[in-house]
Chains A and B, each alone.
Chain A
Amino acid sequence: MRSVAVSSDVRERIIESRWTYRLIAFLLFAGAWQIFASLAGTFFVPTFAETAIATVRLALDGHTWEAFLLSNQSLVLGFAFSVALGIPIGLAMGRFRGAEQFTDVYVNILIVTPMAALIPLLLMSLGFTLASRVILVTLFAITMVIVNSRAGVRQVDVALLEMARSFGASEWQIWRRVLLPAALPAIMTGVRIGLGRAITGMVIVELLMVSVGIGNLILRFRGVFEYDRLYAVVVLVVIEALVLINVARAFERRATPWVAPAGIRS
Chain B
Amino acid sequence: MIKLIGVRKIFPGRNGKEDVEALHDINLAINENEFLTIIGPSGCGKTTLLRAIAGLVPIDAGEVLIDGTPVRGPGPERAMVFQNIALLPWDTVLANVAFGLELRGVPKDEREERAHKFIRLVGLEGWEQRMPGELSGGMQQRVGLARALAVEPKVLLMDEPFGSLDEQTRRLLQEELVRIWEATRTTVVFITHSMEEAVLLGDRIVVMSVRPGSVVEIVPVPLPRPRGGRIDTVGWSTEFLAITAHLWTRLRDMQPDLVRSKEALAGVSS
Contact = CB atoms under 8 A, between A and B. Distances in A.
Interface in A174-192: 177-178, 181-182, 184
Interface in B80-124: 80, 82, 84, 86, 88-90, 99-100, 102-104
Given A162-B82, A166-B80, 10 more contacts: A162-B56, A164-B103, A167-B100, A167-B151, A168-B76, A169-B103, A178-B88, A181-B90, A184-B90, A258-B90
Contacts of B79: 166-167
B151 A163 contact: no
Interface of A: 157, 159-160, 162-170, 173, 177-178, 181-182, 184, 256, 258, 260
20 contacts: A157-B86, A159-B82, A162-B56, A162-B86, A163-B80, A163-B82, A163-B86, A165-B56, A166-B54, A166-B56, A166-B79, A168-B75, A168-B104, A173-B103, A177-B88, A181-B88, A181-B90, A258-B89, A258-B90, A258-B133
B90 A167 contact: no
A15 B133 CA distance: 32
A98 to B, nearest CB: 21
A17 B2 CA distance: 64
Interface string B123-141: 0000000010100000000
Number of chain B interface residues as a range: 20 to 34
B103 A167 contact: yes
B53 to A, nearest CB: 11
B74 interface: yes
Contacts of A169: 103
If over half of B's interface residues share one DSSP class (helix, strand or loop), that class is named, otherwise mixed; here it is loop
A157 B75 CA distance: 22
Contacts of B75: 168
B101 to A, nearest CB: 9
A162 B80 CA distance: 10
Contacts of A160: 86, 88
A19 B25 CA distance: 69
A168 B89 contact: no
A165 B55 CA distance: 9
A255 to B, nearest CB: 10
B14 to A, nearest CB: 16
A167 B149 CA distance: 12
A159 B54 contact: no
Nearest to A170: B103
A166 B73 CA distance: 8
A75 to B, nearest CB: 31
Among all A-B residue pairs, the 4 with the closest Cβ atoms: A163-B86, A167-B100, A159-B86, A166-B80
A168 B74 contact: yes
B74 to A, nearest CB: 5
Contacts of B56: 162, 165-166
Contacts of A178: 88
A173 B84 CA distance: 21
A178 to B, nearest CB: 7
